[in-house]
A and B are shown apart, each in its own frame.
Chain A
Amino acid sequence: MRINPRFTNKFVQIGLNLQAFFTVGILVIIVAIICFKGLPYVNFEFIFSYPEDMGRLGGIFPSIVGTILLALLSILFATPLGVGTAIFLTEYTKESKFTKIIRFGVESLAGIPSILYGLFGFIFFVIKLRMGWSLLAGVLTITIMILPTIIRTSEEAIKAVPRNLRIVSYSLSATKWETVTKVVLPSAIPGILTGIMLSVGRAVGETAAVIFTMGSSLRLPTSLFDSGRTMAVHFYILAREGISMEKAYGTALVLVVSILLINVVAYYLMNKAISKYS
């Protein structure tokens, strides 16, 4: 018997509808569980006090500080490197063997899983360069890890700036660098910021690459050479070692909400960047 194509068509359409909403449902359920379970334990004290008894009691203040320090410092290093690379690839050279090799390097970096970044950071920064488990080792490892994201998003943002604006700038006696800094970059900023925000999100949520480089000290890091614990690492240890489910849910809530907020800002900036030239 041949099935009526119109019937199949309708059937598939309903199926795909359900599928899409099921997938979005997963996101909603994850966020809902974390919020529902975590909310009772998150309050002012939880956020601003120090953990006690391995995290069984008290708050998560040092890990919040550790997370912010790790993310901000990584961005501080990765942004000039990444945006500079993007400027070089788009403005200062034509497509050639050389750019192909660089692009290959960037693509390869993007594909390396975070545990290998952890492995590398551990042997190179922690052991060989004798940094020990430290904020600095974590920052340098994460810098390399987020670099490809910043390069790619910056490159796209720079490419989207109309060529006419560059021509006008040159005709007004600007040098290439003046054109890049005064005309191209200001127009590309929303797109570049999108990449930065996505990278911040990655740094905040990362565990494997952080735990073996920055370590997991519960104390507040006060120098670049102190070990520290990010929220993601803290959450992992609380959950994996069964220290406290309550604190784990509370930490997860702060972690997930921060990441969602960062991503929402990133999408907002991306839409702004897209609508600018279309």
Chain B
Amino acid sequence: MIKNPVKKEQLVKWVLVTFALSSLLFLFLIFIFILFEGLPLFHKIGLKNIILGFKWAPTKGSFGIFPMIVSSFLVTFGALIIGAPMGLSCAIYLAEYSGKRLKMFLKPALELLAGIPSVVYGFLGVVYIVPIIRDYIGGSGFSLLATSIILGIMILPTVISISFDALMSVPKTYREGSFAMGATKWQTIHKVVIPAAKSGILASFILGMGRAIGETMAVIMIAGNALRIPSSILDPLRTLTGNIALELAYATGDHRLGLFSTGIVLLVIIMILNYIANFGIKRKM
């Protein structure tokens, strides 16, 4: 290829390169500043005492966040138990059963769920879900169960839209082949289409997990924020995100550093989940 240097073009190119690099710069800054603030405490208190410590009393020198790590995973799996089957069945319905016009209406309607701010979910959880659990099942209502239900709904748009794309990318010939052998529609879907779209569906679950584990405002409104590992689904709990959001506004000194340590743990978990979803799974598709 022959190249022809024109000065203005070169200038434009360099400006655009700078713009493109800004994303990397921001990512770098985020990592550096969260690590820079949070790591010294790991050094001072000890990695083990933070990650595996049970006691969070930052003004008294205890920075154990183990219960929060466990709680974050509990609400995430709770959200998955509720959101994954609901989301997947919606995606199957959209991809395989609904007509074109219904799809045109349903898909944006479902994606609008993603637009509702998380504070609104949290608020409705407090006003409707929490009292129902308190009155009919037990406990204070602020609980793992309530949080899982709300997060389950909140991850629906992620699960639906990525599963839907995965199902739609299964070639038509697969379905035709199955129908030709006399399979019913459902047999075709669960024996042929779902296995073919498996990795995309899995990616949608993992990205849904990423969404749930990172969710903050809805969680602090309905989780109860107790500092221990819940022993039942009706117990209150505090997640990593909740810990940061609840205390950042007034924390100082080591206490604030402890919140950044919490942030580091969260960041690591999120990066691992995103890596699995983006590279580990999609590559196989």
Binding site for B on A (CB under 8 A): 5-6, 8-9, 12-13, 15-17, 19-20, 22-24, 26-27, 30, 33-34, 80-81, 84-85, 87-89, 92, 101-102, 105-109, 111-120, 122-124, 128, 144, 147-148, 151, 175-177, 201, 204-208, 211-212, 232, 235-236, 239-240, 248, 252, 255-256, 259-260, 262-263, 267
Contact = CB atoms under 8 A, between A and B. Distances in A.
Given A27-B110, A115-B244, 16 more contacts: A16-B89, A16-B92, A19-B86, A84-B16, A101-B24, A105-B24, A105-B27, A112-B270, A113-B266, A116-B30, A116-B267, A123-B37, A151-B23, A211-B245, A263-B111, A267-B108
Contacts of B185: 9, 13
A27 B112 contact: yes
A260 B115 contact: yes
A118 B279 CA distance: 27
Contacts of A89: 20
Nearest to A115: B216
Nearest to B11: A177
Nearest to A267: B108
Given A20-B106, A119-B260, A122-B248, A175 B116 contact: no
A108 B271 contact: yes
Given A120-B30, A147-B26, A259 B116 contact: yes
A152 B105 CA distance: 24
B7 to A, nearest CB: 11
Interface centre among A113, A177, A256, by most B CB within 10 Å? A113
Interface string B182-220: 011111000000000000000000000011011111001
Contacts of A33: 124, 128
Contacts of B273: 111
Contacts of A19: 86, 89-90, 93
Chain B interface residue number, banded: 35 or more
B174 interface: no
A266 to B, nearest CB: 9
Contacts of B245: 115, 118, 208, 211
Interface of B: 6, 8-9, 12-13, 15-17, 19-24, 26-27, 29-30, 33-34, 37, 86, 89-90, 92-94, 97-98, 106, 108-113, 115-124, 126, 128, 153, 156, 160, 183-187, 210-211, 213-217, 220-221, 241, 244-245, 248-249, 259-260, 263, 266-267, 270-271, 273-274, 278
B4 to A, nearest CB: 10
Nearest to A110: B274
26 contacts: A6-B184, A16-B89, A23-B86, A23-B110, A23-B113, A30-B120, A81-B19, A81-B22, A85-B20, A102-B20, A102-B24, A108-B271, A109-B30, A112-B214, A112-B270, A115-B244, A115-B266, A119-B263, A175-B8, A201-B115, A205-B115, A205-B116, A207-B216, A211-B245, A260-B115, A263-B111
A106 B21 CA distance: 10
A205 B117 contact: yes
Nearest to A91: B16
Given A88-B17, A124-B29, A17 B267 contact: no
Nearest to A255: B117
A266 B252 CA distance: 42
Contacts of B108: 263, 267
